[in-house]
Chains A and B, each alone.
Chain A
Amino acid sequence: MAELTNLTLKESLQALNLGQASSVELTQAYLKRIVALEPQLHAFITLTPEKALQSAKAADEKRTRLAKSGQAIPALLGMPLAIKDVLCLAGTRATCGSKMLENFVPPFNATAVQKLIDAGVVPLGKTNTDEFAMGSSTENSAYGVTRNPWDLTRVPGGSSGGSAAAAAAKLAPAALGTDTGGSVRQPASFCGVTGIKPTYGRVSRYGLIAYGSSLDSIGVLARTAEDAEIIFRLMAGFDERDATSSDTPVADAVCSDHTSIKGLRIGVPKEYFISGIQPEVEKAVREAIRVYEELGAEIVEISLPHTEYALPVYYLIAPAEASANLARYDGVRFGLRVEDGGMLDMFMRSRGRGFGAEVKRRIMLGTYALSAGYYDAYYGQAQKVRTLIRADFDTAFTKVDAIAAPVAPTTAFKIGGHGDDPLAMYLEDVFTLPANLAGVPGLAFPVGFDTQDLPIGMQLMGRHFEEQTLFRLGHAFQLATGWHKRAPVL
Chain B
Amino acid sequence: MTLTLKEVEHIALLARLELTDAEKRRYQQQLSHILEHVAQLQTLDTIQTEPAPDALPKGARLRADEPKPGLTAGQALENAPSAKKGQFRVPPVME
Whether B31 lies near A240 (C-beta < 8 A) is: no
Check B93–A343 contact: CB distance below 8 A: yes
Residues of A within 8 A of B27 (CB): 360-361, 364
Given the complex of chains A and B, what is the CA–CA distance between A380 and B49 in angstroms?
11
Are A437 and B55 also in contact (CB < 8 A) when A351-B16, A352-B17, A364-B31 are? yes
Chain A positions within 8 Å of B90 at CB level: 332, 343, 346
Interface of B is mostly: loop
Closest B residue, CB atoms, query A327:
B16
Q: Is the CB of A331 within 8 A of B81?
A: yes
Contact of B55 among A108, A200, A315 (CB under 8 A): A200
Q: Which residues of A contact B80 (CB under 8 A)?
A: 332-334
Contact A384/B49 with A244-B60, A364-B8 known, Cβ cut-off 8 Å: yes
In the docked arrangement, what's the CA distance between A172 and B30, Å?
38
A384 touches B46 (CB 8 A): yes
Min CB–CB distance A443 → chain B (angstroms): 17
Residues on the B chain within 8 Å of A341, using CB: 91
Bound together, the chains give a CA A344 to CA B14 distance in angstroms of 11
Residue of B nearest to A201 (CB): B56
Within the assembled complex, what's the spacing in Å between the Cα atoms of A346 and B52? 36
The segment from A125-133, A158-166, A280-288, A365-373 that touches chain B is A365-373
Q: A343-B91, A352-B19 are in contact. Are A387 and B50 (CB under 8 A)?
A: yes
Asked whether A388 lies within 8 Å of B41 as measured between CB atoms, the reply is: no
Interface residues on A, range: 35 or more
Within 8 A of A (CB), among B10-40: 11-19, 23, 26-27, 30-31, 33-35, 37-40
Least CB distance, A95 to chain B, in whole angstroms: 12
Q: Is the CB of B46 within 8 A of A315?
A: no
A352 touches B18 (CB 8 A): yes
Q: Which residues in chain B, 56-95, are within 8 Å of chain A measured between CB atoms?
A: 56-58, 60-63, 71, 75-76, 78-82, 88, 90-93, 95
A 325-363 binary contact with B (CB < 8 Å = 1; else 0): 001001111111101011111111101110101001101
Known: A337-B82, A360-B27, A363-B15. A383 touches B51 (CB 8 A): yes
Contacts of B14 in A (CB 8 A): 367, 371
What is the CA–CA distance of A313 and B15 in the complex, to the nearest angstrom? Answer: 21
> Is there an interface contact between A335 and B16, defined as CB atoms closer than 8 Å?
no
Binding site for B on A (CB under 8 A): 103-105, 107-108, 200-201, 214-215, 240, 243-244, 246, 308-309, 311-313, 315-316, 323, 327, 330-337, 339, 341-349, 351-353, 355, 357, 360-361, 363-365, 367-368, 371, 377-378, 380-388, 390, 420, 422-423, 426, 436-439, 464
Q: 8 more A-B contacts (CB under 8 A) besides A361-B31, A423-B34?
A: A104-B79, A244-B61, A331-B81, A339-B81, A381-B41, A384-B50, A385-B46, A390-B52
